[in-house]
């Protein structure tokens, strides 16, 4: 994995923290990671998202959510789709439905980062960043 794929790095950190049942995970803060974290929070996959650190070394501290006695992670699967070496773009008619609408696809559009549902509602396509369910 290239060191400059901040999205893949973010998804991997979230995936690993869920598997280890950590309550929070720390991710380097960029405009892209902040927007993805915002979408995950709006969709209920993660709890609070806080920004810490100062100057150039800023981090997002994301609270992970679990359910039940066995603390099953809410995020069961998180997968990078569009990679720096192979970008995946879809127009509004081709936007993916993840698990028949149970999961979400996070899309980078000209109007910002949003879910596949929101992009479909607005009638715009974009780059498919990742799937989450």
Is the pLDDT score of 1 beyond 50? no
Residue 35: strand, helix, or coil: helix
Is the pLDDT score of 54 beyond 60? yes
Averaged pLDDT for residues 56-82: 94
Averaged pLDDT for residues 106-124: 97
- Residue holding tokens 């060191």? 3
DSSP 51-118: EE--TT--EEEEEE-EETTTTEES---EEE-SBTTB--EE-TTT---GGGGTSEEEEEETTEEEEHHH
Task: Report residue 83: phi and psi, to 5°.
Answer: -115, 160
Q: What is the pLDDT of residue 100?
A: 87
- Residue holding tokens 């927007």? 35
Is the pLDDT score of 27 beyond 50? yes
Averaged pLDDT for residues 87-103: 93
- Kindly report the average pLDDT of the chain as a whole number: 94
Averaged pLDDT for residues 38-57: 94
Averaged pLDDT for residues 14-28: 96
Q: What is the pLDDT of residue 3?
A: 56
């Amino acid at each position: 994995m290239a060191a400059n794929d901040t999205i893949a790095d973010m998804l991997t950190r979230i995936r690993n923290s869920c598997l280890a049942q950590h309550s929070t995970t720390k991710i380097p803060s960029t405009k892209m990671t902040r927007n993805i974290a915002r979408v995950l929070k709006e969709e209920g996959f993660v709890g609070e998202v806080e920004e810490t650190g100062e100057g150039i070394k800023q981090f997002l501290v994301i609270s992970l959510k679990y359910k039940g006695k066995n603390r099953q992670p809410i995020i069961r699967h998180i997968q990078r789709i569009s990679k720096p070496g192979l970008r995946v773009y879809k127009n509004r008619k081709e936007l993916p439905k993840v698990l028949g609408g149970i999961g979400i696809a996070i899309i980078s559009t000209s109007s910002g980062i949003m879910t596949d549902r929101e992009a479909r509602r607005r009638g715009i396509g974009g780059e498919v960043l990742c799937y989450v369910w």
